[in-house]
Amino acid sequence: MAKIAINIATGTLQKEEIIVGIDLGTTNSLVAIIHPDTKQPIALKDIDNTVLVPSIIHFGDNEQITVGNEARNYLESDPSNTIYSVKRLMGKSYNDVKSKGHSLSYNVIDDDTDRLVKIQVGQKFYSPIELSSLILKELKHRAEHVLKMNISKCVITVPAYFNDAQRQATRDAGKLAGLEVLRIINEPTAASLAYGFGTRNDESSLIAVYDLGGGTFDVSILRITDGIFDVLSTNGDTYLGGDDFDRVLATYFAEKIGLTHEELSIHKSMAQTLRLKAEEAKKQLSTQDQFTFQIDDTELTITKNEFESLIKPLVDKTIDSCANALKDSEISKAEIDVIVMVGGSTRVPYVKQRVSEFFGKPVYDNVNPDEVVALGAAVQADILAGNNKDTLLLDITPLSLGIETMGGLMDVLLPRNSKIPSKAGRQYTTQRDGQSGINIAIYQGERDLVKDNRRLAEFALTGIPAMPAGLPKVDIQFVIDADGILQVKANELRSGVSQSIEVKPQYGLTDAEVESMLMASIVNAKEDIKIRSIIEASTEAEQMIQLTENFMHKHAQHITEEEKSATQSGIVALQQSIEAKDKDQILTATEKLNEVTRPYAERVMDVAIGEALKGSTI
Ligand code: ADP
Ligand code: MG
Measured from the alpha carbon of residue 370, the closest ligand is 1
Minimal-distance CA residue to ligand 1 atom 19: 344
For a mutational test of ligand 1's pocket, the pick from 22, 24, 28, 132, i.e. the residue with the most ligand atoms closer than 8 A to its C-beta, is 28
Largest Cα span, the chain:
81
Task: Give the rounded distance of the alpha carbon of 294 from its chain centre.
Answer: 41
**Nearest one of 364, 469, 448 to 404, comparing CA atoms:** 448
521 lines ligand 1 (CB under 6 A): no
Instruction: Tell the residue nearest (CA) to atom 16 of ligand 1.
Output: 242
Cα 198 to chain centroid, rounded: 25
Query: Is the alpha carbon torsion for 460, 462, 464, 467 positive or negative?
Result: positive
User: Ligand 1: does its nearest atom lie under 6 Å from the Cβ of 242?
Assistant: yes
- Calpha distance 347→349 (Å, rounded): 6
Please give the radius of gyration of the chain, using alpha carbons only, rounded to the nearest integer: 27
Question: pLDDT (tens digit, 9 = 90+) per residue, 541-551?
Answer: 998 998 899 88
Amino acid 294 reads Q
For the residues of 470-521, what is the DSSP string, one character each? T---EEEEEEE-TT--EEEEEEETTT--EEEEEE-TTTT--HHHHHHHHHHH
Nearest CA to ligand 1 atom 12: 344
What 3 state SS string does 361-428 have?
CCCECCCCCCCHHHHHHHHHHHHHCCCCCCCCCCCECCCCEEEEEHHHEEEEEECCCCECCEEEEEEE
Give 274 Cα–ligand 1 centroid separation in angstroms: 18
The residue among 421, 375, 386, 424 whose CA lies nearest residue 182 is 386
What does the CA dihedral 110, 114, 116, 120 come to, rounded to 10 degrees? -10
C-alpha 400 – ligand 2 centre gap (Å): 27
Does the 20-195+370-384 domain belong in CATH 3.40.50.720? no
**CB 279 less than 6 A from any atom of ligand 1:** yes
Residue 26 beta carbon below 6 angstroms from any ligand 1 atom: yes
Distance CA 208, CA 412 (A): 31
213 C-alpha to center of ligand 1: Å? 5
Nearest residue (by CA) to ligand 1, atom 6, is 343
With beta carbons less than 8 A apart as the criterion, state whether 235 and 221 touch: no
Residues with Cβ within 8 Å of residue 32, at least 6 apart in sequence: 20, 21, 22, 23, 41, 42, 43, 44, 371, 374, 375, 377, 378
The reply to whether ligand 1 has any atom less than 6 angstroms from the CB of 28 is yes
For a mutational test of ligand 1's pocket, the pick from 370, 371, 373, 375, i.e. the residue with the most ligand atoms closer than 8 A to its C-beta, is: 370
Instruction: Parse the chain into domains and list their residue ranges.
Output: 20-195+370-384, 242-309, 401-511, 526-613
Residues annotated as catalytic are 23, 87, 187, 211
Residue 468 main-chain phi, psi, to 5 deg: -65, 155
- Of 469, 486, 466, residue with least CA distance to 478: 486
Of ligand 1's listed atoms, the one at least distance from the Cα of 29 is 4
Q: Do domains 242-309 and 526-613 have the same CATH topology?
A: no
67-101 per-position pLDDT tens digit: 999 999 898 889 889 999 999 999 888 777 776 64
Q: Which atom of ligand 1 is nearest to the CA of 344?
A: 12
Asked if residue 235 has its Cβ within 6 Å of ligand 1, the reply is no
- Burial label for 596, CB within 10 Å (0-12, 13-18, 19+), is middle
Regions of the chain with pLDDT less than 50: 1-15, 101, 617-618
How many whole angstroms separate alpha carbon 469 and alpha carbon 448?
25
- Helix (DSSP H) and strand (DSSP E) numbers for the chain: 16, 28
**pLDDT attached to residue 113:** 63
524 CA to centre of ligand 1 in angstroms: 37
Ligand nearest to the CA of 158: 2
243 φ, ψ to 5°?
-60, -30
What is the number of the ligand 1 atom nearest to the C-alpha of 343?
A: 6
- For ligand 1, whether the C-beta of 214 sits within 6 Å is yes
User: Would you say the CB of residue 213 lies under 6 angstroms from ligand 1?
Assistant: yes
**Gap from CA of 249 to ligand 2 centroid (Å):** 22
For residue 491, CA distances in Å to 426, 427, 433, 439, 497 come to 11, 9, 19, 12, 6
Task: Kindly tell me the sign of the dihedral angle through the C-alpha atoms of 168, 170, 176, 178.
Answer: negative
Q: How far is the CA of 345 from the centre of ligand 1 (A)?
A: 4
Question: Is CATH 2.40.50.100 correct for 401-511?
Answer: no
- Domain 242-309 fold is Actin; Chain A, domain 4 (3.90.640)
Q: In CATH, what number does 526-613 get?
A: 1.20.1270.10
Q: Cβ(348) to ligand 1 under 6 A? A: yes
Between CA 75 and CA 68 the distance in angstroms is 11
Tell me if 304 CB under 6 Å of ligand 1. Answer: no
Residue nearest ligand 1's atom 13 by CA:
214
